Structures are given as C-alpha cells and as structure tokens.
Amino acid sequence: MSTAQRNAIRALLRVAPVVDELGRLFEDRGGALALVGGSVRDALLDRLGTDLDFTTSLRPDAVEAIVRGWADAVWTIGRAYGTIGCRKGDAQIEITTYRSDAYDGETRKPSVEFGDSLEGDLARRDFTVNAMAVTVPEHTFVDPFGGVDHLAAGVLRTPVEPEVSFGDDPLRMMRAARFASQLGFRPAEPVVAAMREMADRIEIVSAERVRDELVKLLLGRYPRVGLTLLVDTGLADHVLPELPALRLERDEHHRHKDVYEHSLKVLEQAIDLEHRLEDPPDLTIRLAALLHDIGKPRTRKFQPDGTVTFHHHDVVGAKLVRKRMRALRFSGDLIDDVAKLVELHLRFHGYGTGEWTDSAVRRYVRDAGDQLDRLHVLTRADSTTRNLRKAQRLQRVYDDLEHRIERLAEQEELASLRPDLDGNQIMAALGIGPGREVGEAYRFLMELRMDRGPLGEDAARDALLAWWAERGA
C-alpha cells in the first residue's frame, strides 16, 4: 500500500465509528458499500470533512430501509438518481447505487441506469482522481485507473476516453475547469482537446447545473485558472460569452488595456481584498469584479486622434449582467447586487482629489446602499496600473473618501439615510391625505437631506411649507 493510500485510510479511520458501523449494516443485508469520489480524493489530500459520499450495490429502497433505523435524519430528494441522503451525528452522508448517467443528445437531463459492480461505477466517474474507493468495513483501497498517481501529479484525466466521458455528461467539461480552480490541477492534453472539440455539447445541460459549476469555480482558490480554461477551450462562448468577448483587438498604438486580462486581474485583486468583507469567499464581489467591464465591447469607439473610448460602459454593462445572470438562473437579489456594483464601479473617478461636496458623498453612500463595502473593494481592485506613483495616489484618494464617509456616518447615521420628516409628519404639515403628493414631498425632503445634511424637524418643516407654497403658486 502506498503512502497516499495509507493517508486515505488514516483519514477514513478518523470517522470510522460512523463509516464502519454503516458498512456492517450493509454487509448484514448482503450489500457492498464503499466510500467514493471526492471523499476519497479529499482523504488522500488529508482534508476529509464530514460530507461523505458512498456507493453501493443495493437499490435505493433497500438503502432507505437500512438508514431509516440508523440515521438521525433521512432525505430522499435524490431517489430518482439513485441517491439516499442522511445525517448521523456530524456526518452528512449520501449513498448512491452503482450507476452510470448518460445524455441521449436531446434532453437536458441525464438518464439514470443502475450498475452491478464497483469498478463499473468508477469507470463512469468524471476524472480518475474521483474514481477511487475505499470499501467498508474492510478498508480495501480500490484504484483501477491510477487516480493516486494523477492526484500526486496534479493532473486531470478521465477513466475512459474523454470523448466518451464528456458524451455521457457534458457538464464534466465544466467540472474540469472547476477542479482546476479549486485544486490547481491541470487537465491532460487529451482532456483539453476533447473540451475544444465538444464545447457545444454543453448546450444540452440545464442552465442551473452550469450555474452551479460556475459558482464553484468562481469560489475556488484559483478562479483565473478555471476561467482561462473555459475561454481557451471555447466553453465560455456557450456559458459566459461576455467573458471571451472582452479579448478586444488592441489598437496599433496600444492605447487601451487588454480588457480580458484586466478583468481577470481585477478579480484576483478583489479576492486579495475579501478580508474587508464579512464572509469570504464572496460570490457577489467575484462576479462583479469579473464582469465589471463587460459593457466595453458594446461601447468601444475609436477617436480621430487614435484614442479609444468606452462611454457609458458601466450602464450598458449592468444591463448585460442582468441578461446573462437571468439566463444562468441566478437569484433576483444576487442579480440586483452585482448589477448595482457594475453600474457604480466608475462613480469614484469623479471624486478627483477630494473635490466632492458632502452632498456628493452622501449620494455615493445612498446609491451604494448595502453594497457599499463591496463597492469599496471593487473600486480599489479596479486599479491595475503598473505606474506605482499613480497606484499609490489612487489608493490615497480612496482612503480619503472612505474616511469622509466614516466621519459623515458618525455625524449623520448615513447607513439609514432618510428625510427629517416621515410620511405622517408630511401629511400633518401639509394638511393632506395619502397619495402621490406625499411621495413627491418625501423625495423633495430626501434631496434636501442629501444637499444640506440633517436639518432637524422644524427647519425641514419650514422648507417643506415653502416648497409647497411655491409648488401651489
């Protein structure tokens, strides 16, 4: 047994009371059980957690009957795919009948066929590093495709020909990019070649499954590696076409940056700044950083003097973000947050060297809303200049803006900006009932609050009455 295999067994033994107990229950029912896939891979990497994946010779009904009397909780939402889930203590367990998934080339969902051997099940796995197993309770290590060696080399290979594997489930091409991001692995050349050849097959996979893989890729340790693989193989043309579209031809004088490389650099720099956010890794900021300039291809214009402009690419980009994220079935709240950040990412550049009035700072905070901390990160990350003096100046200027926001926040409760009078007070002051005019008055007071800061109720009421009289006249 190799050192890596011994490490896997040791990691398994740390959760052995649960694993072996479950293995004996299956053994008593005449069934085979093995820890498999990502659980074995992570055990070999000495990072096995409490999420455990098993495969078994028994069918789902028999699996459910076994765990019903053993587990603390059982769920059967994956029964149609041969999976029964359960919880025992801290362990989250999924047990799947030997199977092979295959697409018929027309539908967006794989058909499910149950198998009859562990080796057959492993042969239908996505990559060799996920095609290893440890039988329980025997603790026999099963590695028919050399997954241990490939894991040690950091290489992604498929158990069968990649064309066959990706034909069975085209989403595996996305998984190659995801594992490149999560683990830093590189796909073998036959895998890359098959991805290029079969990239259009990803179209038959549901948007939700593609989205989930893209999210895991973005939240990985090396998202640039995974994204580059998607672009270089042509997969991005089908799942995130706005990204390869950023590879604009540069003008002969090189007067504008490579937008694609700039966007990947901004993503990396945003990740380096995630410690400023509450709960990293942060999907919202990573999406906003990656997509902040996707409006540039639509807005690029060459000027007579040879310069290049991208006027309004922030507004156009926000619209494109909404369209793409809706197509990928992201949640409405996440779409709103990312689109807001993209639309606001240029706002800071009007700050100059601190010429903004307090009113402009208040509006900056109001418009950012609950995305202010992320906007700070995105704006700082968006500086990719190699001019050290310019970079330091931008940092100092943004430091100044943040300090001004902090000072105003202490004085004026910027986080909950509202007029000095509420709706009821407005109606009482003007002697009117609910209706459109109350909203107009509220907006007037809000703009007054932005311009002049807190006035107090008496001064706000005087200003409201003067506005009302002028409006009536």
In this predicted structure, what is the pLDDT of residue 249? Answer: 56
CA 414 vs. chain centroid, Å, equals 29
User: Which residues on neighbouring strands pair with residue 156, listed in sequence order?
Assistant: 187
Alpha helices in 15-154 (DSSP H): 16-28, 38-44, 60-68, 118-123, 147-153
Q: Report the distance separating Cα 24 and Cα 54, nearest Å.
A: 14
CA 426 vs. chain centroid, Å, equals 44
Mean pLDDT score of the chain: 91
- Measure Cα distances from 343 to 110, 301, 311, 347 in Å: 39, 20, 12, 8
The dihedral through the CA atoms of 234, 237, 243, 246 has a sign that is: positive
pLDDT in tens, 241-265: 999 999 975 544 444 568 999 999 9
CA 292 vs. chain centroid, Å, equals 14
Nearest residue to 345 (alpha-carbon basis) of 382, 400, 307, 394: 382
| Domains within the chain, CATH numbers bracketed | 1-153 (3.30.460.10), 155-240 (1.10.110.30), 244-416 (1.10.3210), 423-472 (no CATH)
In this predicted structure, what is the pLDDT of residue 254? Answer: 47
For the full predicted model, state whether its pTM sits above 0.95: no
Helix (H) or strand (E) holding 301: strand 301-302
Q: What is the DSSP letter of 392?
A: H
In this predicted structure, what is the pLDDT of residue 473? Answer: 44
pLDDT in tens, 104-127: 555 556 567 898 899 999 999 999
Q: Mean pLDDT across the stretch 143-147?
A: 95
In this predicted structure, what is the pLDDT of residue 253? Answer: 43
